[in-house]
Amino acid sequence: MKIIELFRQDPGFDKLFRKFRDKYRSVGRIGGSVKLDDFSGEELESLAGFLGSSTNFLREKGSLPLKVFEQQLAKTNLEGLSLKQLLEMYFAEPLISKAEEKAAKNEAEITFYQQQAAKNPNLKGWLERVINKEPDTRFIQMMYQHNPNDLEGLIQQLAHAVEMLPEPGQYERLPLFSQRVTGNPHSFDRTQPLGKLFLHYLTWHPEKGFVSSSTEQVNELLLNYGILRDDLWNFVTCRGFKAFVQQKEHPVWEAAAQLGTVMNIPVRELVILERIVPLEGETVWVVENSGVCSALMDAVPNKPIVCTHGQFKVASWLFFDRLVESGYTIYYSGDLDPEGLLMAQRLKRRYPEHVKIWRMDFESYKKAMSEETITNRLSQLKNIDDPILKETANIMARTGVAAYQEGLLELLVNDILFSNK
């Protein structure tokens, strides 16, 4: 249209129309005003001629309402053409508000995930969480915004990986699983995009997932699906047990039992075992401190004693699973600080019928109190709700200090020596 070309050639109109477009995108309608303070005298003169006004009047007003311009537009040979239509003709593209643009992008993203769910039914529940924009899925939304095509490929690989997970009771090392699924042993590393999606899916899964943060939590999460991330350096220490594989007593465990040998058993060896049983009694004594464990082993020969070496690792859970499956009771004792109480509570929750809290009551705490202040960690105690541990947590919150197993060693030894369980 000839008038459009005239607008393009006339000083000031390109700048004005760009301001009009920005205002429409902001408010979503023809309304509001745009500032004129950055227009030159020549540009204002051109606008004043169209508006039937003066340059001084426009300069004094300092702004121009969009409705005023549209009203003036109706007095020209462009009568019947709205300002919105004029702007669309001028810029040769639809005039869309930011809200409309955002809604369109959101709809396109939802359609994308719905299409992925249709192509990969085994991910439907997980993708619904992404569609609902749950807070933990923000990184997936960012991946979509960066490159939807790349994300589509990753989702397809994830769906394939879920189908290829080991059968229940079977185990596979993570790099070998990754090689088998993608042809790259590092595809499921935590730092890789596919690895992040894989862990997020496993964490979301309603049957086996949980929030994964620490290395050990990730290892445990993967173990729940038969994936081993570290099967050598992840171990538990024990003495006084025998184990069975393929319904036969394991000869190494048998020899260790005969000699009273202490063994460090890695995940690699634990996953092949069918059962673990104590040499005597129905009770297994578990501590998390290696120094305390070694002292107990010195003081009480042949008794079934286990050390987890701090936070429970995959090896710990495998060991406990085999014991509990065989019907044995675990007596657990840990350090009396916020982290120690949470560990004990976590163990009790996992095996409520098979775990007894051992020397972590408030009387034991008072006996073993140290001078180490833990005021900056006391907030963790609010998560303690086990009746026994709650009493200890309450007094710990008042004193603000930790207590340690070393101060209870004599009591721990006597408990084992005089137990008839």
Single out the residue in 187, 213, 228 at which a domain terminates.
Answer: 228
pLDDT, averaged per 10 consecutive residues of the chain (421 residues), comes to 77 92 93 93 91 91 93 82 91 91 93 97 95 93 96 97 93 94 94 95 66 72 88 91 95 96 96 95 96 96 94 94 96 96 97 97 96 95 96 96 95 92 67
* The pLDDT value given to residue 216: 79
Question: β-strands 329-333, 283-287: how paired?
Answer: parallel
362 CB neighbour count, 10 Å cutoff: 18
CA distance 306 to 288: 8
Question: β-strands 329-333, 305-307: how paired?
Answer: unpaired
Sequence length of the chain is 421
In this structure, the answer to whether residues 164 and 109 fall within a common structural domain is yes
* The pLDDT value given to residue 8: 82
In this structure, the answer to whether residues 267 and 300 fall within a common structural domain is yes
In this structure, the answer to whether residues 330 and 367 fall within a common structural domain is yes
Q: Contact 317/268 with Cβ under 8 angstroms? A: no
CA distance 201 to 294: 40
CA distance 399 to 377: 13
In this structure, the answer to whether residues 206 and 57 fall within a common structural domain is no
* The pLDDT value given to residue 3: 72
In the numeric block, the tokens 């020596």 are attached to 417
Single out the residue in 209, 228, 247 at which a domain terminates.
Answer: 228
Token digits of residue 175: 């790099």
Q: Contact 359/323 with Cβ under 8 angstroms? A: no
In this structure, the answer to whether residues 285 and 186 fall within a common structural domain is no
3-state secondary structure of 117: helix
3-state secondary structure of 281: coil
In this structure, the answer to whether residues 21 and 49 fall within a common structural domain is yes
In this structure, the answer to whether residues 308 and 382 fall within a common structural domain is yes
- Name the residue range of residue 196's domain: 99-228
* The pLDDT value given to residue 421: 67
* The pLDDT value given to residue 210: 45
Q: Which residues contact 201 (CB under 8 A, 6 or more apart)?
A: 123, 126, 158, 162
Alpha carbon of residue 307 to chain centroid: 29
Whether this prediction's pTM lies above 0.85 is answered by: no
Q: Contact 377/337 with Cβ under 8 angstroms? A: yes
* CATH number of the domain that residue 298 is part of: 3.40.1360.10
In this structure, the answer to whether residues 304 and 275 fall within a common structural domain is yes
* The pLDDT value given to residue 209: 42
Q: Contact 46/11 with Cβ under 8 angstroms? A: yes
Q: Which helix (H) or strand (E) holds 265?
A: strand 263-266
Single out the residue in 210, 228, 246 at which a domain terminates.
Answer: 228
91, 169, 275, 285 from 329: Cα distances, Å? 77, 23, 14, 9
In this structure, the answer to whether residues 137 and 204 fall within a common structural domain is yes
In this structure, the answer to whether residues 139 and 287 fall within a common structural domain is no
Which DSSP string do the residues of 243-286 spell out, in sequence order? EEETTEE-HHHHHHHHHT--EEEEHHHHTT-SEEEESSSSEEEE
Split into its structural domains, the chain has a count of 3
In this structure, the answer to whether residues 223 and 250 fall within a common structural domain is no
CA distance 412 to 299: 10
CA distance 105 to 108: 5
* The pLDDT value given to residue 386: 96
In this structure, the answer to whether residues 291 and 245 fall within a common structural domain is yes
